[in-house]
Amino acid sequence: MKFSANLGFLFADRQLPDAIHAARAAGFDAVECHWPYAVPATEVRAALEETGLTMLGLNTSRGNPSIGENGLSALPGREDDAKAAIDEAIAYAADLPATAVHVMAGNTSGPRARRTFCENLAYACDTAGDAVTILIEPLNAYNAPGYFLASTEQAAGIIRDVARPNLKLMFDVYHIQRIEGDVTRRLEDLLPLIGHVQIASVPDRGAPDHGEIDYAFVLQRLRGLGWEKPVGAEYLPEAGTTLNTSWLSKFAAL
């Protein structure tokens, strides 16, 4: 099993190019990030080339987090801002290159928001073409209260309605366990729609070596389903301690 370091959480005390080098030194096979836009893409690309790592994905802008925004693409009336964020993310991904863009929905609800999200996702997919996969991710209400996309059922329905081959589900086991549980069955049922998988312990969102999820079992099942892409490690390091990557060699052997 291969693993990607999510540099939004891991090695986050370093500049992004330095974090890429740290991920390589720690034994990760790939990297991914949240919002890299403050760093010139040329610097990130150079670090990727130096380490031989692939950037799996990045997020569209949240908008203005200081007023509680957590994405723009499902917000009625903000279509121009959403498309600008999509354009920014796809262009940055192309410059690296990165393989996927996570289009963030934002905090909203209702049928109009769903229509807006579907229209913006269709725009993102058509703009990206074959070069970039577009991802959507359900977020749990404990960590992201009010977020539009809140279940795998809702996400699957949107993916089917948008009907673009490059629109996929980001299956974050941490979020799915907190939203609805039964993660192994959901992986089995949703596998054709899944574009990326992420992991962290539940409920503390720490390293995936403790908590209520037996990741040895989940990852073995995922492997048995034919998954060969790197799994994203998106977990919060324990404050005041050295980053725990002891799980990496154990799970890499699965």
Residue type at 248?
A: L
Residue ranges covered by each domain of the chain: 3-60+84-105+116-142+149-252
On whether the CB atoms of residues 131 and 100 are closer than 8 A, the answer is: no
pLDDT > 90 fraction of the chain, expressed in percent and rounded: 96
Instruction: Measure CA 145 to chain center.
Output: 18
Looking at the annotation, which residues are catalytic?
137, 234
110: confidence class by pLDDT, cuts 50, 70, 90? very high
Per-residue CA distances from 98 to 125, 147, 196, 216, 243 (Å): 15, 25, 13, 28, 25
pTM of this structure: 0.97
Residue 132 · residue 173 · CB < 8 Å: no
62 Cβ neighbours under 8 A, 6+ residues apart: 35, 69, 70, 71, 72, 104, 106
Note the CATH architecture for domain 3-60+84-105+116-142+149-252.
Answer: Alpha-Beta Barrel (3.20)
Confidence of residue 239 (pLDDT cuts 50, 70, 90): confident
pLDDT at 208: 97
Supply the DSSP symbol for 44: H
For residue range 218-236, list pLDDT tens digits in order: 999 999 999 999 999 999 9
Q: What six digits make up the tokens of 163?
A: 């009907």
The pLDDT assigned to 240 comes to 74
